[in-house]
Amino acid sequence: MIDGVKRTVRVDLGERSYDILIGRSILSGLGEAFKTLFPSSEAVIITDSNVAGLHLDTAEASLREVGVDPYVIVMEPGEKSKSYKGLMKAADAVLDSKLERGDIVIALGGGVIGDLAGFVAGIVRRGMRFIQVPTTLLSQVDSSVGGKTGINTSHGKNLIGLFNQPHLVLADTAVLDTLTPRDFKAGYAEVAKYGLINDPDFFEWLERHWQGIFDGGPEREEAIARSCQAKADVVAADEKEADQRALLNLGHTFGHALEGMAEYDAERIVHGEGVAIGMVLAHEFSSRLGLCDAAVTDRVVAHLQAVGLPTHIRDIPGQLPKVDLLMDYIAQDKKVSRGNLNFILTRGLGQSFVEKGVEPAAVRAFLEEKLG
């Protein structure tokens, strides 16, 4: 479909199946892909001001080459756009565009834009189709795949939203060259996660080849494709997170609580950093419960530190959170069931599982120890 595509991963969901196209400098083929899938549709691009300055011209030019003049909506960058206010702004702007239900929303940006635009597409005119064009490593390997969309609230992260599968994901690995080192590292946490869930061979491969991923060599496409395939397999088996899809949230229960504690202030912590610390906490908590050898945790910490990720709560700048506040956020986690705390824990490297009914007192004691 597009010149330069190195890998294609299929998300198999029957009539709602779609492809993830992966390759270097393939953003310029957006128009070709769009016209192939939607020959008679118009488009609206939702992006943020940072991404717009870097990649909007390429996306617009590609669409105009095939006769599509996109309507553009530019949001403020950062998690604060993933809010009720941001949702209203984006939804009203799509309506202002006068586009119809059969037209296409294009999410051009990182996880915040993907989640927000996907949610908007799912509710405006009772549902429009959409394309994900993720521009961060984190969004290419995680948030753009699987159909989870939504916004944050004062009660916690991603608590308002819906499942809305895209019709295409276009992952241009060259755009990752424009990321700050911090943002690239944050995205890498989600790559490492796939090895820690159930693929120790992949984690060992990452230990050997992570530098090539950072340098933009062929290892980058390989890591992204393997991550996307891992997620595609889980989503195809459990689209609505009734069971095993919850494993994709390894580290996220602790990580989301840390993000909420920091009021989603990117100066203090970004999502991937929360996930990195959260994965370490999940392994440490598993060790505390006698499920996992401490040597496994040490290995996880060593790798995350080698790539420059934070691994301890004390690595977060500013005042340490109160245990009560963290417990409040954990109690609002989407995996809570009838008031019982459910965590993704592990029995060893790449041996994660869903533990239901974890005692809040045990979590509290563990966090008090980590903050003591």
Catalytic option among 245, 283, 303, 370: 245
How far is residue 356's CA from residue 85's CA, in Å, rounded to a whole number? Answer: 35
Catalytic option among 60, 249, 273, 370: 249
Catalytic option among 42, 60, 79, 190: 190
Handedness of CA 194, 196, 197, 201 (dihedral sign): positive
Contact present, 108 and 47 (Cβ < 8 Å): yes
Query: DSSP secondary structure string, 248-310?
Result: GGTTHHHHHHHHHHTTT-TTT--HHHHHHHHHHHHHHHHHHTTSS-HHHHHHHHHHHHHTT--
Catalytic option among 271, 303, 334, 370: 271
Residue type, 126: R
Is 150 annotated for ligand binding? no
| Whether residue 125 lies in the annotated active site | no
Is 271 annotated for ligand binding? yes
Is 114 annotated for ligand binding? yes
Q: List Cα–Cα distances, 192 to 19, 143, 181, 187, 311, in angstroms.
A: 23, 15, 16, 9, 13
| Whether residue 271 lies in the annotated active site | yes
Question: Nearest Cα to 112, choosing from 82, 76, 74?
Answer: 82
Is 113 annotated for ligand binding? yes
Which H helix or E strand runs over 345?
A: strand 341-346
Give percent helix, percent strand, percent coil of the chain, each to the nearest 5.
55, 20, 25
Neighbours of 10 (CB within 10 A): 13
| Whether residue 368 lies in the annotated active site | no
Catalytic option among 148, 226, 303, 334: 148
Catalytic option among 241, 259, 273, 284: 241
| Whether residue 148 lies in the annotated active site | yes
Contact present, 255 and 32 (Cβ < 8 Å): no
Contact present, 344 and 353 (Cβ < 8 Å): yes
Within 13 Å, how many C-alpha atoms sit on residue 277's CB side? 19
Contact present, 252 and 275 (Cβ < 8 Å): yes
| Whether residue 164 lies in the annotated active site | no
Is 115 annotated for ligand binding? yes
Catalytic option among 167, 226, 256, 334: 256
Is 111 annotated for ligand binding? yes
Q: Where are the beta strands (DSSP E) in 58-211?
A: 71-75, 104-109, 129-134, 148-153, 156-163, 168-172
Residue keyed to tokens 């340490």: 320
Catalytic option among 24, 226, 252, 303: 252
How far is residue 274's CA from residue 250's CA, in Å, rounded to a whole number? Answer: 11
| Whether residue 209 lies in the annotated active site | no
Specify the DSSP class assigned to residue 337: B
| Whether residue 249 lies in the annotated active site | yes
| Whether residue 241 lies in the annotated active site | yes
Is 135 annotated for ligand binding? yes
| Whether residue 126 lies in the annotated active site | yes
Q: Which residues are annotated as a binding site for NAD(+)?
A: 111-115, 135-136, 148, 157
Binding residues: 111-115, 135-136, 148, 157, 190, 252, 271
| Positions marked catalytic | 126, 148, 190, 231, 241, 245, 249, 252, 256, 271
Residues that constitute the known binding site for Zn(2+): 190, 252, 271
